[in-house]
A and B are shown apart, each in its own frame.
Chain A
Amino acid sequence: MKQDPFKQSVVKAAKGLWTAFPMILGTILLISLISVLVPKSFYVSVFTKNQFLDSLIGGVIGSISAGNPITSYIFGGEMLKQGVGLIAVTAFLVSWVTVGIIQLPAESSILGKKFAILRNISAFILSIIVALVTVFILGILV
């Protein structure tokens, strides 16, 4: 007997989510653990006030962090107040939302290892380029 196409679509969707379920649940557990383990003061303390090095550090910290973008705005605002450069803060903000080291196992498992690695590496490099271009344009226009 032929199954109802809509029912088939729903079953297929449920199966797809079930396959991704352990990875998603594991990722949320990992994010929760890291968010508790890494103190907020850490984000400001690692910068050197060297523009180039700080943009790299900002990119790296943003990449290994995870959570709501609101948190990154709060940290970013705090960094600016502490004298960290705008390029570094921008690299931090952009990599926070575009690079996902913590989500990498889930991304590799569901979308493929090669894609996940290439996407994250290129997003990291782009976070620094985006930071440089944004601050450059801001300097010209404002």
Chain B
Amino acid sequence: MKFKEKIKRIAKSWYFLISIVFIYFLFSLFNKEVYLGSLNFFKDILLKIIPVFILVFVLMSISNYFISPDFVIKHLKEKGTKKWFLVIIGGILSSGPIYMWYPLLADLRNKGLSYGLIACFLYNRAIKITLIPLAIVYFSWQYIVILLVVMIFASVLQGILLNKLMEVKK
């Protein structure tokens, strides 16, 4: 990516943050209840994601050190089902909010990881092993098992679809 484009992209993301902070400022003036409630909610999320943030930072450092474009080409670009299994397991085992994983995935994308595998990873992040017992409490175990299996198939389907769609007009 060219330096100018990089600066443009960074500036855009700061505009987004500034606009949201401005909305908060307006709420602080006109609706204190919503403002304070949102800040409280924000604080709770922030405290929860700090460990994930550290985990992502460590994983990104490890990935930068050990995973080269050649490594990605060797393990995740070859034909076959192995790469899909790896990405499905990675997606299921990853924790924390989805947006915390975007920088790492962008980094892997630059190293050659396909869009389809990124989409598959993101889809499988929806499956949380630790939350399955709770889901069974609200729904039946048969329903949850079927739903999870169908979702894993859907993740691969979405990955294949995204690979095809991203190729169009490239």
User: Complex: how many Å from CA A139 to CA B85?
Assistant: 28
Choose one: A12, A33, A73; the contact of B24 (CB below 8 Å). A33
> Do B38 and A28 touch (CB < 8 A)?
no
For B125, the closest partner residue in chain A by CB is A97
Q: Which of B47-102 contact A (CB under 8 A)?
A: 49, 53, 56-57, 60-65, 97-100, 102
A1 at the B interface (CB under 8 A):
no
For B158, the closest partner residue in chain A by CB is A122
If over half of B's interface residues share one DSSP class (helix, strand or loop), that class is named, otherwise mixed; here it is helix
Tally of A-B residue pairs with Cβ under 8 A?
A: 188
Q: Which of A76-114 contact B (CB under 8 A)?
A: 76-77, 80, 86, 90, 93-94, 97-98, 100, 103, 105-107, 109-111, 114
> Do A119 and B16 touch (CB < 8 A)?
no
Given contacts A13-B57, A69-B131, A137-B150, whether A118 and B16 have CB atoms under 8 Å apart is: no
Given contacts A13-B61, A74-B138, whether A141 and B16 have CB atoms under 8 Å apart is: no
Taking the closest CB of chain B, its distance from the CB of A109, in whole angstroms, is: 5
A19 at the B interface (CB under 8 A):
yes
> Do A119 and B162 touch (CB < 8 A)?
yes
If over half of A's interface residues share one DSSP class (helix, strand or loop), that class is named, otherwise mixed; here it is helix
For B11, the closest partner residue in chain A by CB is A22
For A26, list chain B residues within 8 Å (CB): 13, 16-17, 19-20
Choose one: B20, B64, B103, B134; the contact of A29 (CB below 8 Å). B20
Taking the closest CB of chain B, its distance from the CB of A19, in whole angstroms, is: 6
Taking the closest CB of chain A, its distance from the CB of B66, in whole angstroms, is: 8
> Do B13 and A16 touch (CB < 8 A)?
no
> Do A133 and B56 touch (CB < 8 A)?
no
| Leading 4 A-B pairs by shortest Cβ distance | A97-B126, A9-B64, A13-B60, A32-B41
- Which A residues are closer than 8 A to B by beta carbons? 5-6, 8-10, 12-14, 16-17, 19-20, 22-33, 35-37, 69-70, 73-74, 76-77, 80, 86, 90, 93-94, 97-98, 100, 103, 105-107, 109-111, 114-115, 118-119, 122-123, 126, 129-130, 133-134, 137-138, 141-142
Mind listing 7 A-B residue pairs with CB under 8 Å?
A: A17-B56, A29-B42, A32-B41, A98-B122, A115-B118, A118-B165, A118-B166
Q: Apart from A29-B21, A103-B99, what 17 extra A-B contacts exist at CB < 8 Å?
A: A9-B61, A12-B64, A13-B60, A19-B9, A23-B17, A29-B24, A31-B45, A33-B27, A98-B126, A106-B13, A115-B119, A115-B162, A126-B154, A130-B150, A130-B151, A134-B147, A142-B143
